[in-house]
Structure 1
Amino acid sequence: MKRLPLRHSYAAVLGWLLWLLVVPTVALAQGATTITGVVTDAKTREKLPFVSVSVPQAAIGTNTDQDGHYTLQVPAQYTSVVYTYLGYRSVTKTFEAGTPQTINVALATSSAQLGEVVIKGSKPPRYKNKDNPAVALIRQVIANKPQNRPESYDYVEYEKYEKMTFSFSNLSEKFKNRKVFKNYQFLFKKQDSTAAGGVNILPIYIEEKLAKEYYRKNPETRRAVELGNKQVEFDKHFIDNEGLSAYFNRMYQDIDIYANNVSLLGNQLLSPIADNAPTFYQFYISDTLRQHVPQLIELSFFPRNKGDMLFAGKLYVTLDGHYAVQQAHLSVDKRINLNFVKSLDANLEFAENPDRRYHLSKTFLGIDFGVTEKGSGFYGERTVSFQDYRVNQPAPASVYDGPARVALTDSTSRQSAAFLEQNRPDSLSQVEQSIYKNVDTLQTIKSFQRTLKIASFLLSGYTPLGPFDIGPANTFYSFNPVEGFRLRVGGRSTPELSKRFYVETYTAYGFKDEQWKYFLSGTYSLNGQSIYKFPQHLLRASFQRDTRIPGQELEFVQEDNFLLSFKRGVNNKYLYNDVYRLDYVHEFNNHFSYSLGFRKLQQSPAGGLYFRDSSADTPDLIGQLTTSEVSLGLRWAPREAFYQGKTYRSPIINKYPIFTARAARGFKGLLDGEYSYTNLSLNGTKRFYLSQLGHADVAVEGGYVVGQVPFPLLDIHRANQTYSYQLYSYNLMNFLEFASDHYASLFIDQNFNGFFFNKLPVIKHLKLRETASLKLLYGGIREENNPYSHPELYQFLQDASGRPVSFALGRTPYVEASVGIANIFKLFRVDIVKRFTYLNNPNVAEWGLRGRFKVDF
């Protein structure tokens, strides 16, 4: 079964959102006034950081940055802004609504401070950590982190309520009154003009969850039991509601300020109380809340470098000896290297435990997305509240057993919605209550259904036809040297046909070789749930007759993908394959799985590929190679999470490793099998998060073939002759160039997330990101499998001039490396690739330029 990878699910969901953005973006926010300016000291002319700029009547506001700059979107009905700063007199400025304005303000010190004259230079003193009371305080917070984290208790349990809404934002009156929205006016009746920085928003999605969560320190166990779940549901034929929910929840993760790095939008931002925070942040004591019990210190913080992946905001720290964070307000600078993010605000509140330590009681995360700064976009916010918090009161031992998350089943989903209605800790606002009804009404409008159908087809490649999906569209047309122009049509059944039995099929025709190719598979779910849902337990039988490039085991994309039709150099070595398969897959809740399989494979050379031995004076051409093998596969992916869709499942990349092992045994004489052999392989992958240096994806792989076999049954290493950059292929290796009966490989792909570019003048505004990769391959062929020593084995390939074009690796490894620039126009990655070894092989390119489509935040 082919699974959609994380990058494809990101691109699919993000693409759907961006597609919907195309129309709104053309309308500017005429319903709000954009105010910008600089706040300075009236005497010294120094720029003042952290000044509060607000519209009290609308309950909105912002703070000046480290250079005294600010930007605020003010709703059309308001015409005044208030500027307040500790130790300075408040100032109110009025303006004309509807027109962007620049208002610079000079604040005078309050009368309480006029008794003291302080003479300062024109420039503020250089910031230093040494002898800085704010840094001394934050070091106390860091030192006390272990005792203030929930993990400091032996047992913790609580109820967790999550509410997430998603909305169109920054919609102008002109946009709303267009003829195309004539039937949608009911959606615009209720809007919140004070949210998302004071712009108009139109809620279109809401999701609520209620769960009971448990933590045990020894042995460490985390478990969540879902109690209630309710969300807006779009037409399941066009939008995958489960996948949409998973994607939104991935974007809006829990914020753990006590962790060194905070995961956000697939990136990691250094926490302001990380162990090395004073190296990257500037801290200031901006206020003392003496009336609060216990007394609190307000700490303001900013990144030292404004383009780094860091927060800005305020911390409120207790002075009772625990140095715990009682509140936190986080935001990011607009210059940070995050895509499509116009603004981000997060608020964390902590409640006091009986032992005077604090636990997280409520969090808020709001993110405003848009292609342009002033255009329309999307605004999402997630609120999480914690109640019935209990510490060091162990639950029965049985509670900690079982899967990490106990999800609601289809049979209990309706009851869970009713339970959530009755036990919701926070009531919904009038706007939020209307979302469920409005979306149901929206889907009855035919024009909206047509829009969804077109968008779904363009982005997923599939279009529904009753209980079947037809596609994928990118394989309808392709070409290659053997088949010439190739047309293909296919599809798959959906759970609407059956939740136990699934069918997938396609047929294709090559106009050059004038041959039909086809595929048919039937899968039976042994646990009664969709075969795309975790955990899988299924039995599948399939037959495929098609072409293939030897060594190209593309797991996530089809070889007849149109974009892969464009290849460099000589690429006419193909196989006609007849593949009969029977597979059994069983996954367990602990993310261990095994698979048993049987495969009969008939390989026939085509194009420039040939099978020939040299055992006779006149070498014979061999028309077909037949093998019959059984296999055992093992996989362990601890704490793996998925984007769980209706007809796909793709893993979410996290910090935990994934290990796979496979053993295949070929039997001579079984169903015409010609060789006996054993093929063993091991693989391990892991993403290493490196904080400010981004992340590195690392893969280690090895294999060993036992027995004497011809070269098509050896491990033919994954080469790439397309112009796309492939992460786990050798991008300057030619097809069929190297084969091994034993090998070990290392892949490293480092993404720096703009760490260096963000510090370069001019370039930092482009928000480019640096990449680097290294690929090493050690391998070889034992003497028993050397065709030059054993004439009865198939010869290595030669070109028309008699030069060998297939080789065994020697003592020198194959080495390839690249450096690249990613996030070009927020869509592309381009790498310059260099090959370091085996440069004397025929038709070798030492340098290459490769590109890759990649959408990230």
Structure 2
Amino acid sequence: MALNHFKKFIFIFAFVMPFLAFHVSAQTPVPAPARTVVTGVVSDASDKDPVPYATVLFKGTQIITKTDADGKFVISTSESHDQLQISYVGFKTAYITIKPGETQTVNVKLQSESENLKEVAITSNKRPAYRNKNNPAVELIRKVIENKAKNQNKNYDHVEYQQYEQLLFSLSNLSDKFKNKRIFKNYQFLFQNQDSTKVGGKLILPIFLEEKVSQNYLQKSPEKKKTIYTGDKHVNYDAKFIDTKGLSKYFERLYADMNIYESNISLVSNQFLSPIADASPTFYKFFITDTIKTHVPNLIELSFIPRNNTDLLFEGKMYITMDGNYAVQDAYLTVNKNINLNFVRALEAKLDFEKNPDGRYHLSKTNLIVDFGINKSKGGGFTGQRTVIIKDYQINKPQPANVYEGPATSTVPNAETQPDQFWAGQRTDTTLKTNLNIYKNIDTLQTIPSFKRTADLLTLFFAGYKNFGPFEVGPVNTFYSFNNVEGLRLRLGGRTTPELSKRYYFETYGAYGIKDEKWKYFLSGTYSLNDKSIYAFPQNYIRGSFQRDTKIPGQDLQFVQEDNFLLSFKRGQNNTLLYNDFYKIDYMHEFESHFSYELVARKWTQRPGGSLYFNNFENNMVNAVDHITTSELNLTLRYAPNEKFYQGKIYRVPIIDKFPIFTLKYTAGLKGVVGGEYNYQNIIARVDKRFYLSQFGYSDVTVEGGNTFGKVPFPLLTIHRANQTYSYQLDSYNLMNFLEFVSDHYASVNIDHSFNGFFFNKIPLVKKLKLREAISFKALFGGLREENNPNNDPSLLQFPKNDMGQDRTFALGRQPYLEGSVGIANIFKVLRVDAVKRFNYLNNPEVSEYGIRARVKFDF
């Protein structure tokens, strides 16, 4: 995820618990009194090899765990038990005496049961090397793979079911010593109902809870799916601090639905190869570890581990039915402690299936727990748990065609106001009822003055705004910046909040350049047409604005403002600016389907600044042009199916997924209308999409094309996105200079691929660093027609020259502009560094063939 994406993740929870900063001093949690914690390793007594997935439990209880791929285990309880029971198929069950109420280490050596077999064949003192060939476990998994199609929901003509889901997110690893600190005196009510999760037995403190109920319909031919939400209940935070709906979407991305029958399972923003994917025998090792004959039909316990324990793969076990269907009846998934996955301390998923009338199985319950932390071994963190229960499952019951009409997802009007009786009937599992007081606790928390002050301070730090009730000041990272033309630039601004009005919004700022001695300012007024905040989805508003400010030609920034202090540092010559006056009227209309259109009418006046000039030739004489003015009508169409985002204070931060985003933009210049000097038309089409390639990572691909019709000066052509900062920008050409290339027709492709450590994970020692590989390639095709080339028409504004009198602006020739990079990401978990190479147009002035660029990039 990008910087703003992770800043949002940290900000949400840092501010929810205002005391989180003090957790550093409590990094080593104090165990609850009389808690028994046992760690150890289970190994084979004969050859000392570890025994993976052995069962470890306190004798006579259901407190149970499994050893990992290295035979290691941790088990704990607050109850008083003095004996451990360890078992594994093919070995004698071992019983170990332990000391209740203490933390201790126990290493267990299991004795083989081979003396009880009628025939024993001894071929070597060592276990044979693992092979797929002639391996009964691999033969079994191939049977499962062969039968996947008939065991999936989509194999039925019609399916319908009701789904209840609960998502709980909590602060974790809290101790009594930490809880009783004086700073938490006013927050003790939050600690009243601590619980213990399965992951590590850590104490948790709920801070977010969401429950949803939906009715789901699936049709095979033609393929259709309809989800109708009949209930939606969640914790509500103050909108001026947190976008609760965006937070919900973000969690949905982290804790996506788990379908073991899909080749890849999306989890914590990554894709894991399913243990029953077609390619799973290439990446997993499989072992038959038990046979269960007490179940009808009989089940085979099939355990699996990754061949490389740093790859994005699961380890765990599945129970396979031996009735000819080879279906998964139950599954337990976790990850190896060495996996190349950031901030995840532990992950466990339990999948339960129920039998259909036709003898096949459907998923009936999933329980996913993920424990997050900056430090993987100690200290405070976050734990998230998502439980999904499916009931009333019916097959081959056709529905009327109108059931599938409209968008694929809809919500009934009273979904958010369902009574308590409705929810009580949905919580069929007792564990789902233990943290419901969070709804009241969070409401109470937000009334405490000290919490409000801390939340306000953290909003200033992370979002950049200081709230003063009906008005907020910011963003603070633009208060100070500098460049070669304006010199030191000082700015102060702000905007109104919903406390003043939900429908009326005003925004303004003023800035002053010490060197150019010019004032810049902005003022806008917005009226919401749907009685919602203009930042709430779906947007529907009209806005009028005026802006007088500077802009670097060819710099197009995403999720950051151009006068951000950190972007003040640039390479090469940076002394060309445009002074712009914008008069604009905007109308924006979004729909629930994530289709939107925006209409804009604007008058735009451009004046050159710094070393930039507007000159043409008249009567063989140089003529200086003070400014150019255009009047434009603009229509932008955008369609982003299934788009999810978090609404920040300034921008929407997208939660990137596999779905494409289509954008079409049309602009018409109107000569003679309110001072417009040019007639022209411009059209730009763009598609953005992420392609997931399973174990080989993912590619972000952008394809874009544009054409300008009409005769226009170079400032109205497409000035291609350049980057002269030292940061790596995904959407710009990182070794192209500002204003270097212009076109009236162009096409481009941009590919950025992350391998997620696929190669580094295979290199000894290097894999311990958890580094990840990245490559990118960018190609830009374009050109100028004769009518828009000032080298052929002196009446046009001439391309500018640099301080040495050399041409600095060019049209692309027959060759496309090509640029590529090779990068190392996940350095210290936060940094990506790219070695960038420019492949052509190297004779242009002030060109760098190579460069090193870096960007902050947080990923799981």
Would you call these one fold, judging by a TM-score over 0.5?
Answer: yes
Counterpart CA distance in 2 for 1:810 and 1:484 is 36
Q: Are residue 823 (structure 1) and residue 826 (structure 2) matched?
A: yes
Q: Are residue 464 (structure 1) and residue 470 (structure 2) matched?
A: no
Q: 2:189 aligns with which of 172, 186, 190?
A: 186
SS of aligned partner of 1:672: coil
Q: Which amino acid aligns with 2:378?
A: K
Partner of 1:640: 643
Pairs within 5 Å for 1:190-589: 190-193=193-196, 195-372=198-375, 373-407=377-411, 413-415=416-418, 419-427=422-430, 431-589=434-592
Kept in 2: contact 1:87–1:113 (CA 8 A): no
Return the offset for 1:592: 3.0
Go from structure 1 to structure 2 and tell me whether the alpha carbon gap of 1:743 and 1:615 turns closer, same or farther (over 3 Å shift).
same
Partner of 1:30: 30
Counterpart CA distance in 1 for 2:506 and 2:347 is 44
Kept in 2: contact 1:25–1:377 (CA 8 A): no
SS of aligned partner of 2:443: helix
Kept in 2: contact 1:146–1:152 (CA 8 A): yes
Greater shift, 387-396 or 158-167, is seen at 387-396
Kept in 2: contact 1:75–1:194 (CA 8 A): no
Kept in 2: contact 1:678–1:705 (CA 8 A): yes
Q: Deviations over 1:325-361 (max 9, x none)?
A: 1111000011111111110000011111111111111
Greater shift, 436-445 or 564-573, is seen at 436-445
Go from structure 1 to structure 2 and tell me whether the alpha carbon gap of 1:113 and 1:822 turns closer, same or farther (over 3 Å shift).
same
Counterpart CA distance in 1 for 2:785 and 2:123 is 79
SS of aligned partner of 2:340: coil
Q: Deviations over 1:500-521 (max 9, x none)?
A: 3333322222222222222222
What is the RMSD of the two structures over their aligned residues, measured on CA atoms?
2.4
Counterpart CA distance in 2 for 1:559 and 1:577 is 14
Return the offset for 1:720: 0.2
Counterpart CA distance in 2 for 1:82 and 1:504 is 67
Return the offset for 1:561: 1.0
Kept in 1: contact 2:463–2:649 (CA 8 A): no
Task: Indicate the percent of aligned positions where both proteins have the same amino acid.
Answer: 56
Go from structure 1 to structure 2 and tell me whether the alpha carbon gap of 1:741 and 1:322 turns closer, same or farther (over 3 Å shift).
same
Counterpart CA distance in 1 for 2:150 and 2:526 is 52
Kept in 1: contact 2:4–2:559 (CA 8 A): no
Return the offset for 1:36: 3.9
SS of aligned partner of 1:237: coil
Partner of 1:601: 604
Greater shift, 232-241 or 376-385, is seen at 232-241
Counterpart CA distance in 2 for 1:353 and 1:815 is 57
Partner of 1:792: 795
State the TM-score, normalized to the length of structure 1: 0.95
SS of aligned partner of 1:301: strand
Q: Deviations over 1:115-155 (max 9, x none)?
A: 54443534321111111111111111111111111111222
Go from structure 1 to structure 2 and tell me whether the alpha carbon gap of 1:789 and 1:644 turns closer, same or farther (over 3 Å shift).
closer
Counterpart CA distance in 2 for 1:511 and 1:99 is 68
Q: Deviations over 1:593-621 (max 9, x none)?
A: 33322121000111111111123443122
Q: Are residue 11 (structure 1) and residue 7 (structure 2) matched?
A: yes
Greater shift, 60-69 or 274-283, is seen at 60-69
SS of aligned partner of 1:142: helix
Q: Deviations over 1:474-525 (max 9, x none)?
A: 2122111222222222233344443433333222222222222222223333
SS of aligned partner of 2:70: coil
Q: Deviations over 1:236-263 (max 9, x none)?
A: 3323322222222221111011110000
Greater shift, 654-663 or 460-469, is seen at 460-469
State the TM-score, normalized to the length of structure 2: 0.94
Greater shift, 38-47 or 671-680, is seen at 38-47
SS of aligned partner of 1:519: strand
SS of aligned partner of 1:196: coil
SS of aligned partner of 2:200: helix
Greater shift, 438-447 or 788-797, is seen at 438-447
Kept in 2: contact 1:229–1:420 (CA 8 A): no
Q: Deviations over 1:429-470 (max 9, x none)?
A: 664133233333333333322222222221222232223343
Kept in 2: contact 1:227–1:419 (CA 8 A): no
Q: 2:624 aligns with which of 621, 625, 639?
A: 621
Q: Deviations over 1:703-747 (max 9, x none)?
A: 111111111111110000011110010011110011111111110
Q: Are residue 153 (structure 1) and residue 149 (structure 2) matched?
A: no
Q: Deviations over 1:378-407 (max 9, x none)?
A: 111111101111222123322211122223
Kept in 2: contact 1:74–1:197 (CA 8 A): no
Q: Which runs of 5+ in 2 are unaligned?
A: none
Q: Deviations over 1:613-638 (max 9, x none)?
A: 12344312211110111122222223
Counterpart CA distance in 2 for 1:133 and 1:635 is 53
Counterpart CA distance in 2 for 1:112 and 1:203 is 52
* Count of matched residue pairs: 852
SS of aligned partner of 2:194: coil
Kept in 2: contact 1:75–1:198 (CA 8 A): no
Q: Which runs of 5+ in 1 are unaligned?
A: none
Q: Which amino acid aligns with 1:11?
A: K
